Structure 1
Amino acid sequence: MWRKLHSIPGLFAALFLIVLAITGAILSISPALERSGAIVPVAGEVSVAHLAERVVEQYPGTQQIERSPSGAVIVYYSRDGQAGADLVNPLTGKAIGPYQPSSFFRWVKDLHRAFLQDDGGRLMAGAMALLMVLMCVSGTFMLSRRVGGWRFLIKPLKGAGDHRIHSELARFAVIGLLLSAMTGTYMSAVRFGVLPEASGGEPSFPEEVSGGVPAPIGSLAALKNTDLNNLRELVLPYPDDLQDFFSLSTRQGSGFIDQSTGEYLKYQATPTNSQIVDWIVRLHTGEGLWWLGLILGAAALTVPVLSITGARIWWLRRRASRKTLDNADEANADTVILVGTENNTTWGFARDLHEKLAEAGRHVLSTDMNQLAEEYPRAELLFVLTSTYGDGGAPASANTFMERLRRFRNTSGLRFAVLGFGDRQFPRFCQFAVDVDEALGSRGLERLEKVTTINRQSTDQFGKWGDRITGLTGLSLALTHNPTPTRRFDLELVDRADFGLEIQAPTSILRFRPADRKSGFRGLFGKGNARLPDFEAGDLVGVFPPGDDTHRYYSLASSSDDGLLEICVRKQAGGLCSGFLHNLNPGDRIQGFIQHNPDFRPAPGSRPIILIGAGAGIGPLAGFIRKNDSRHPMYLYWGGRNPQSDFLYKPELGRYLEDQRLTRLNTAFSRTQEKAYVQDKISEDAMDVRKLIEMGAQILVCGGRDMALGVKEVINEILTPMDIDVDKLKREGRYLEDVY
């Protein structure tokens, strides 16, 4: 429901919202510009009487003095029969320059308020503001569900590409956009009579005046008792008319002042409802709150990007799922397909299954796992197709599935099968699929077959699973989905550093740049000048060895803004890809692609970071240190074999210690007289490590699985007095692993 409430208005109103956002951002600059040119005395320094006295000396034909919300003082006067308006210095009453409202800002305001139309345009602008309120609310609920609850909204987000950009910008801008949209909706509702206008803010005209000789304007008590910073408008009496009076409007109220006695003839305090309306207008326009205007303007500038990324997400989801009218409703579906995916790739397999089931005569409903209904009254078969995100976790479209499953009712006679998608290079391969299978079984559903896992989106494995389902159900399912091949780019080796040759454990640091298209090789994305895609240290590069369409992942030790792609690779005995990489010479080329890995990255902020690795696992850790430009505390524990043969990144780590990007380095070498492992060094520093964890430190571990298990045991021992363990740190995002 929330997705429809969010996406449908967004698609319908995108162009109008972009216009409103850009014009609103431009208008948000106006209060700041006015404030920058205004002279604003401190409170109590200048009274309205003092200002009026100085202004009248300079402008004998003064008719009106106005103070704008930004603090600028404007005098309207008549001279030689000609009307004029000047900005004046409130301290001296002297002219700063002619006052001429900007025609550009006036045009932009008309475009913002009414799309350069009359009431029809204003009505459209109000409707767009209301849609923005709806989108902000629905988007916030969707984001909360994606991150796993409201309390996680301020924590680092997972994902990459359009999803990541959309979510990060939305989280930054939602309060500002909601404030602008709600205030704009209110102002439009008042204009068209949907809500009542504020009233009672002005007093009635006085019935009598003293008619005496006008006193000097600087001596009038009511004006002397009014601070300039409270002034809105002062209208002077008509010359030589003893029955006329001053009209004064301030933030606190309005009144009429006798020009002879200087006392109020009538006064009306500003009612509460008028003050509220005034604040609503100020919150929307930023007038009088220039700093808020700039914040709202910055939030508005996210709308074009949110519109583009939102439209792309919708299109990719629609193209991937191809949800058409043959999707049965919940009440009539006899077969349900639930899909868990982070970037929609699993939907391609689900679509193929859906179509084949529909061809076999089934009434099929396909939907996200997060959309699990409380019951499907006629459902006989339930298929769950899900990927795993991060270290065995749920992908974005399934992160609330377990909670919804607890409310699921129709379990009697419903048979299910779970199909997991993942990569066997990762230790918790398809773990979420396994967890879902166990959870469904524990709810009393009948298992059609045990959970099946598919490695690297294998078309062959998917087809074989379909054949087994055919045999179990009697439904003819010839599943053939072949996912779109991963987009590859070309890399040229420019530098290498080799280690470990003396101890028969060759490990190399390899640095690549994008291949030059002029040399006849395909440039990145197949066109234009070659360049690196966006990536961060800790992300993965998938490498294809010659003659093999199966890629291997390697953790990145660099970021794209370094201008190089850097990996650290140990040569494995009989390893096809590692052997290929180790045989490269500068100038040789490879093909690869980027797999973002946001679950393995230091958390933002100034809390300490403990980096733990062994062997080639130092690669991404060195990349994290390289990017520590803010010099936050970083501690590295690393284990190798021999300091003379395979001390990886030794020169770089020395420089990082000198410039304080690295706070402390602890090394352990297993083929020396000391014969120590990285977990031994951590154990020796148990007290210091515990203190860092008490300070909120985050731990990142990278390297072999055996090393990671040993480190986990040691950290658990260190945590024992704190009554917590590694699993709790993992749930809090304070213990991350990249293990192979």
Structure 2
Amino acid sequence: MLRKFHGLPGLLAGLLLMVLSVTGAVLALAPALDRASAVVPASGDVSVAELAGRVVAQYPGTEQIVREPSGKVIVYYSRDGQVGADLVNPLTGEGIAPYESSAFFGWVKDLHRSLMLDDAGRALAGVMAALMGLLCVSGMLLLARRIGGWKNLLRPFSGSGSKRVHAELARFAVLGLLLSALTGSYMSAQRFGLLPEASATGPGFPAEVSGGQPAPVGTLNALGNVDLGEFRELVFPYPGDPQDVYSLTTTGGSGFVDQATGELLQYQPRSEGSIVQQWIVSLHTGEGLWWLGLILGAAALTVPVLSVTGMTIWWQRRRSPGKLPDNADASLADTIILVGSEGNTTWGFARELHASLNKAGFHVHCSEMNALADRYPQASRLFVLTSTYGDGDAPASARRFMARLGNFRPGKALKFAVLGFGDRQFSNFCKFAVDVDAALADKGLSRLHTVERIDRCSSPQFREWGEKISEEIGVPLALDYSPLPPATVELELIERADYGLAVQAPTSILRFKAAEPGGWRKYLPSNHKTLPAFEAGDLLGVMPPNGQAPRFYSLASSATDGVLEICVRKQPGGLCSGYLHELRPGDRIEGFVRENPDFRPAKGSNPVILIGAGAGIGPLAGFIRKNTSRSPMYLYWGGRSSQSDFLYKPELRHYLDDHRLTGLNTAFSRSDERAYVQDKLRQDESAVRQMVSTGAQILVCGGRDMAAGVRQVIDDILKPLATDVKMLKAQGRYLEDIY
């Protein structure tokens, strides 16, 4: 509901908000430009009497002196029957340049205030300002919910693409946009009588004026007691009329000054309402606060990008696999399907189950696991189809499921069945599905069927599961689904470096490029597939021979490197690793890139601790290569022999020399020291603890056993800080890519 409350107004008002934001950003420059062209004496250096005396000496026909909030001093005068206005130097009274308001800024101001539609446009602009305020508040609530609470707002965000850009810009700009929206709404409400305006009543004309011989303006005591910084306007008396007076306006109030005695007459301080109103104008426009104007302008410039990324997110969500035809309302459905997926593969199976149940006459509601409702009043069957991410973690669309399960109130008739998707080569095969099954049972639900696990998206296994479910519900289901293979690109091996043969751990660094079409195809227009943008830490999916499911390898390169680089250890009996190790330069494979935005260093100056073993060094080396800002980055890495399998040795030495790598600590298990990476961490426990206490992020890549050992060591090191790996993970400061 909150997402709709945030998204729908943004979609409807996006174009108008972009117009108002761009014009607002342009107007925000005016205070800074005015300040740059103004001569501003130090506080206490110039009084109004001194200013007026200097100006009159240069402009005998002075009629009015005005000091704008920016500090610019303007004199309005008559000379030889002609009126004029000049910008003057308050230190000398001399003219700097003729003064006239900017036609360009005037046009932009009209467009910003009223969209060139007079009062109707002003009303519409006011509505847009109020709408922007609602978008800011709802957006921050969504952002806080996404990252796990307000306390995490300043921590690094995960993800990539439009969602990442939208979130980062929103965090940067929200306070400025909210301030502009609230002050703009307030001023609009005042203009149309929805809020009372402050009284503009000034002092009455003095009943008694001395009428004596006028004294030089520079000698008048009342003007001499006012600092230039407090001055706003001085209107001169009519020439030759001894009964007329000077009209003085300051930041604190207004009154009259006797031109003969210099006495202040009928002074009236400004009302509190007037002061508040002026502050609101200043906070909205930046008048008198040029630095604030620049901040508000920078915030306003994010609105076009926020609008475009917001519409992109909306469109992607509309096209997402979770949008199913004939999807029943959750409150009316008799069957619920919840989906946990990282790369959308599981959604294909969910769609097949949804269609089959619908065909059988059930009212089916399907959504992601993160959208678990508090209750499903009409449902008697709950199916959970979920993959497992990494080493037993929840996939992207199920990360909030366990938390939401605490508020779930199942009906007595609701029974459930969990189906897991994964790869049997992992020791924690479908672990998250098993955890979900146990959690639902602990919640008091009865099992419709025991948890089952699908290996590598096996269509026969899915069909067999459907047959078992058919027996349980008494309705035949024909689940026949084969996931489409991912769109692949032909890749050519251009270089390889081999290590580890002497210690029975053959490991190769393989570098590929997108292959050019060969034969007669090279004469056709170029329309072959190209690789998407990718970063170190993303995954290269390799299609092994004989039509097997793809295997994934962490990339050690970014798109800007011009190659796809992976580090592969040959596994005993490994189908894909053996296939890759047999390749020679010039050989070609089929592959594709899958984003892995949850495993990459956070931006900023905080230290990054990289921990790996064996081929797990691949993405870590890629992170170091891209550390051109020279942020503190430390690598702990373990191998077998420094002579045989010191992967990336020359590159790491180079990175140390040019300070992309701050520190390198290696451990070799088949050397004299017989050390593992965990041992090196314990040796450096004080330094590691100090870095974590100052905001360091830890990234771990390698085998499961190594990762488990590292977690234990880090937990031990962090005990004096009253924190642990679990807490760092929740903060996005402990990331793993393990296999």
Counterpart position of 1:595: 594
Confirm whether residue 556 of structure 1 aligns to residue 555 of structure 2. yes
Counterpart position of 2:20: 20
Q: Distance in 1 between matches of 2:554 and 2:462?
A: 28
Q: In the TM superposition, what whole-angstrom CA distance separates every residue of 1:372-399 from its partner, at most 9, and x where no partner exists?
A: 4333322212233445556644456544
Counterpart position of 1:75: 75
Shift of 1:600: 2.3
C-alpha contact 1:336 1:383 (8 A) present in aligned 2: yes
Counterpart position of 1:171: 171
Counterpart position of 1:162: 162
Uncovered stretches (5+) of structure 1, i.e. residues with no partner: none
Shift of 1:12: 0.8
Q: Distance in 1 between matches of 2:49 and 2:543?
A: 82
Distance change >3 Å, CA 402–CA 256, structure 1 → 2: farther
Q: In the TM superposition, what whole-angstrom CA distance separates every residue of 1:42-86 from its partner, at most 9, and x where no partner exists?
A: 111112222222222222222222222222222222222222222
Counterpart position of 2:621: 622
Q: Distance in 1 between matches of 2:669 and 2:23?
A: 65
Distance change >3 Å, CA 329–CA 646, structure 1 → 2: closer
Shift of 1:170: 1.5
Counterpart position of 2:129: 129
Counterpart position of 1:699: 698
Q: In the TM superposition, what whole-angstrom CA distance separates every residue of 1:668-725 from its partner, at most 9, and x where no partner exists?
A: 2233344333233334444544454455543322112222233334444444566654
Q: Which amino acid aligns with 2:379?
A: A
Counterpart position of 1:56: 56
Greater Cα offset, 8-17 or 667-676: 667-676
Shift of 1:9: 0.5
Counterpart position of 1:675: 674
Confirm whether residue 196 of structure 1 aligns to residue 190 of structure 2. no
C-alpha contact 2:283 2:292 (8 A) present in aligned 1: yes
Q: Distance in 1 between matches of 2:459 and 2:29?
A: 55
Number of aligned residue pairs: give it: 738
Counterpart position of 1:582: 581
C-alpha contact 1:532 1:563 (8 A) present in aligned 2: no
Shift of 1:428: 5.3
SS at match of 1:184: helix
SS at match of 1:645: coil
Distance change >3 Å, CA 88–CA 687, structure 1 → 2: closer
Counterpart position of 1:496: 496
Counterpart position of 2:641: 642
Matches within 5 A, 1:183-262: 183-200=183-200, 202-262=202-262
Confirm whether residue 306 of structure 1 aligns to residue 306 of structure 2. yes
Shift of 1:13: 0.8
Q: Which amino acid aligns with 1:44?
A: G
Q: Distance in 1 between matches of 2:481 and 2:283?
A: 53
Distance change >3 Å, CA 42–CA 467, structure 1 → 2: farther
Distance change >3 Å, CA 278–CA 522, structure 1 → 2: farther
SS at match of 1:163: helix
Distance change >3 Å, CA 205–CA 471, structure 1 → 2: farther
Counterpart position of 2:508: 508
Shift of 1:509: 2.1
Q: In the TM superposition, what whole-angstrom CA distance separates every residue of 1:220-245 from its partner, at most 9, and x where no partner exists?
A: 22221222122222222222222322
Distance change >3 Å, CA 724–CA 570, structure 1 → 2: same
Q: Distance in 1 between matches of 2:491 and 2:206?
A: 85
Q: In the TM superposition, what whole-angstrom CA distance separates every residue of 1:527-582 from its partner, at most 9, and x where no partner exists?
A: 59x97643332222223346646322111223333444322222334434334433
Distance change >3 Å, CA 264–CA 591, structure 1 → 2: farther
Counterpart position of 1:567: 566
Q: Distance in 1 between matches of 2:139 and 2:343?
A: 18
Matches within 5 A, 1:359-370: 359-370=359-370
Distance change >3 Å, CA 505–CA 255, structure 1 → 2: same
SS at match of 2:212: coil
C-alpha contact 2:322 2:368 (8 A) present in aligned 1: no
Q: Which amino acid aligns with 1:170?
A: A
Q: Distance in 2 between matches of 1:272 and 1:425?
A: 73
C-alpha contact 1:540 1:554 (8 A) present in aligned 2: yes
Q: Which amino acid aligns with 1:248?
A: L
Distance change >3 Å, CA 482–CA 160, structure 1 → 2: farther
Q: Which amino acid aligns with 2:704?
A: R
C-alpha contact 2:531 2:593 (8 A) present in aligned 1: no
Counterpart position of 2:290: 290
SS at match of 1:535: coil
Root mean square deviation of aligned Cα: 3.2
- Give the structure-1-normalised TM-score: 0.91
C-alpha contact 1:220 1:261 (8 A) present in aligned 2: yes
Distance change >3 Å, CA 408–CA 580, structure 1 → 2: closer
Shift of 1:641: 2.2
Greater Cα offset, 29-38 or 582-591: 582-591
Greater Cα offset, 115-124 or 705-714: 705-714
SS at match of 2:188: helix
Distance change >3 Å, CA 38–CA 402, structure 1 → 2: same
Shift of 1:5: 0.4
Distance change >3 Å, CA 461–CA 639, structure 1 → 2: same
SS at match of 2:320: helix
Counterpart position of 2:658: 659
Q: In the TM superposition, what whole-angstrom CA distance separates every residue of 1:349-374 from its partner, at most 9, and x where no partner exists?
A: 54544444333333333444444433
Counterpart position of 1:543: 542
Shift of 1:426: 6.6
Q: Which amino acid aligns with 2:623?
A: F
Distance change >3 Å, CA 416–CA 588, structure 1 → 2: same
Q: In the TM superposition, what whole-angstrom CA distance separates every residue of 1:92-120 from its partner, at most 9, and x where no partner exists?
A: 12122122222222222222112111111
Matches within 5 A, 1:695-734: 695-719=694-718, 724-734=723-733
C-alpha contact 1:385 1:418 (8 A) present in aligned 2: yes
Distance change >3 Å, CA 660–CA 362, structure 1 → 2: same
Matches within 5 A, 1:317-336: 317-320=317-320, 326-336=326-336
Distance change >3 Å, CA 338–CA 504, structure 1 → 2: closer
Q: Distance in 1 between matches of 2:307 and 2:79?
A: 53
C-alpha contact 2:489 2:530 (8 A) present in aligned 1: no
Distance change >3 Å, CA 496–CA 403, structure 1 → 2: closer
Q: In the TM superposition, what whole-angstrom CA distance separates every residue of 1:289-311 from its partner, at most 9, and x where no partner exists?
A: 22222222222222222212221
C-alpha contact 1:411 1:444 (8 A) present in aligned 2: no
Distance change >3 Å, CA 613–CA 251, structure 1 → 2: same
Q: Distance in 1 between matches of 2:12 and 2:297?
A: 23
Q: Identity rate of aligned residues, in percent?
A: 65
Q: Distance in 1 between matches of 2:457 and 2:202?
A: 73
SS at match of 1:226: coil
Q: Distance in 2 between matches of 1:456 and 1:288?
A: 65
Q: In the TM superposition, what whole-angstrom CA distance separates every residue of 1:23-57 from its partner, at most 9, and x where no partner exists?
A: 22222222222222222111111122222222222
SS at match of 1:233: strand
Counterpart position of 1:415: 415
Distance change >3 Å, CA 552–CA 344, structure 1 → 2: closer
Q: Distance in 1 between matches of 2:43 and 2:521?
A: 70
SS at match of 1:85: strand
Distance change >3 Å, CA 177–CA 55, structure 1 → 2: same
Q: Distance in 2 between matches of 1:526 and 1:343?
A: 29
Q: Distance in 1 between matches of 2:212 and 2:230?
A: 28
Q: Which amino acid aligns with 2:726?
A: D
- Give the structure-2-normalised TM-score: 0.91
Distance change >3 Å, CA 267–CA 704, structure 1 → 2: same
Distance change >3 Å, CA 186–CA 695, structure 1 → 2: closer
Counterpart position of 1:613: 612
SS at match of 1:320: coil
Q: Distance in 2 between matches of 1:522 and 1:545?
A: 26
Counterpart position of 2:145: 145
